Amino acid sequence: MTWSRIKRTAQQILHLGDSPRRTALAFAIGVFIAFSPTYGLHTISVFLCAWAFRLNVVAMLAGSLVNNPWTVLPILGSTMWVGLKLVPIGDPHTLDSVLHDLVTLIQTATVRNHFNAPILWQQFKPYFISFVVGATALGIVCSLIAYPLVLFGIRRYHETQRRLKAALAASLQDERK
C-alpha cells in the first residue's frame, strides 16, 4: 500500500457522513476484529459486523488492517504471551520463548508436511484457550485505545476544515467589497 493510497483512505474515512463517534466506533471494532483469532475470516467479519451494526465498512476495514503481513507475527506473539500470562500452561513463558514456539509450530506443520492442518491443530490445541483469551484481551485493550485516538483525530480534522472554510468565506467576502 503506497503512502498516497493510505492518505486517500484516511481522507475517505474522515469525510464519511457518520458522526465522529460512529466512525471512531467502527474503526475500534475493526481493531478488535484485527486481534480476533479468526485468521482468514477478518474481512468477512468486518462486512458482517458493519452490516449488523449499520456502521461504516470503510472505517471498520481500516481498523482491521492493523493486522497485516508486517504486524501478524508481533500480534500473534503478543496474543500468545498475554494469553499464557492469563491462562498459564506449564512453565512461565517469556515473549521470546512464545515467539520461538510459535515459529517452530508453524514450521513443523507447514515445511515438513506441506501444511498439514490436522498436525497443526494437534500441536496448537494445548494453546488454544490461552490464544483466544489473549486475543480477546488485547483486542479489547487496543480497541479502547484506538477509539479516543481516532475520535480526537476526526474531531480535530473536522474543526480544521471548518476553520479553513470560514477563512475562505471571509476572504471571498472581503474581495467582493
pLDDT digits (tens, 9 = 90+) for 114-165: 666 777 777 778 888 999 999 999 999 999 999 999 999 999 988 988 888 8
In a domain, 54, yes or no: yes
The answer on 33 and 13 residing in a single domain is yes
Q: Looking at the structure, tell me whether residues 8 and 58 fall in a common domain.
A: yes
Inside any domain, residue 165: yes
Asked whether 131 and 84 are in contact (CB, 8 A), the reply is no
- Residue-number span of the structural domain to which 113 is assigned: 72-130
Domain count, the chain: 2
* Residue 56 shares a structural domain with residue 76: no
Verify that 121 and 156 share a domain, yes or no: no
Please say whether the beta carbons of 17 and 136 come within 8 A: no
At 155 the pLDDT is: 92
Question: Is residue 136 a part of any domain in this protein?
Answer: no
Cα–chain center distance at 42: 10
pLDDT tens-place string over residues 43-91: 999 999 999 999 988 899 999 998 888 888 889 889 988 998 898 876 6
